[in-house]
Amino acid sequence: MSYKIVLYKNGKRGKVLLKSNSLEDIKNNYLNMVKKNEVLIPKKIVNSVKLKSVTYELILLESKKVSKGDVVVRDRFNRIIRDREIEPGWLILERSNWKIEETFKVFRRKERLNCIQILKEVILPITTPKQICCVVNKLIIQDDDDNMDIIVCKNEYECGRLHDTLMDICKKFKLQSIIFFGKSGPHMKSLLYKKIEKVTGWSTDRVYRGCTRP
């Protein structure tokens, strides 16, 4: 008998994470993976043709030549798993919701960063006090030397999640030199738009755009 752990995205088969011929070994691996799956900002939106919601599942499969629905299986919570044949010749043994850490585009950087990387690489170390605010889908980080970092999120909701998560972390560790202002008011937003345009050299349309595009 063969077994595999597969990551599914919006019901579609994705990457095979692990294969084994031992049910005990792969089930232990599966349960450990589910137990340790903790993230700060779970990915909820993807940018394909347009912004859309996304859900991930981690599924443990066994190879078995039976017809769909021939065997009733209960997961570790005693729930009946229906429609077990998610792939031809493979039946579901376990399925769990899965979280993937969201990453964000940071101006001047090639690689996208997650929340902790933004905190460590962009916000810290602190040489002067920093102010953080949201301008629609852009998280703005400024210091007393008039330096500006810009993090572009998929939309306003994503920007708010990043702002609030960073704020919670900074409060937890009592980082008092970092001040969070939330959403910018109309006057401040107007000033920041001008500064963003000057710092980035972006077109006016791009500066004012409230969501990312593919």
In a domain, 20, yes or no: yes
Give per-residue pLDDT as tens, 7-58: 999 989 999 999 999 999 999 999 999 999 999 999 999 876 678 899 999 9
CB atoms closer than 10 angstroms to residue 69 = 11
Angle at 41 between CA 162 and CA 7, to 5 degrees: 145
Q: What is the pTM of this model?
A: 0.84
- How do residues 56-74 score in pLDDT, each as one tens digit? 999 999 997 654 444 456 6
Q: Which residue, of 40, 66, 98, is where some domain finishes?
A: 98
Residue with tokens 């066994």: 62
Classified as helix, coil or strand, 124 is coil
> Is 213 inside a domain boundary?
no
- Pair (27, 64) in one structural domain: yes
Cα(182)–Cα(185) distance, rounded to whole angstroms? Answer: 9
Q: Which domain holds residue 38?
A: 3-98
Q: Are residues 83 and 132 in the same domain?
A: no
214 is a domain residue: no
- What is the total count of domains within the chain? 2
Give the end of a domain, one of 98, 116, 140: 98
Quickly count: other Cβ atoms within 10 Å of residue 212's Cβ.
15
Share above pLDDT 90 across residues of the chain, in percent, rounded to a whole number: 74
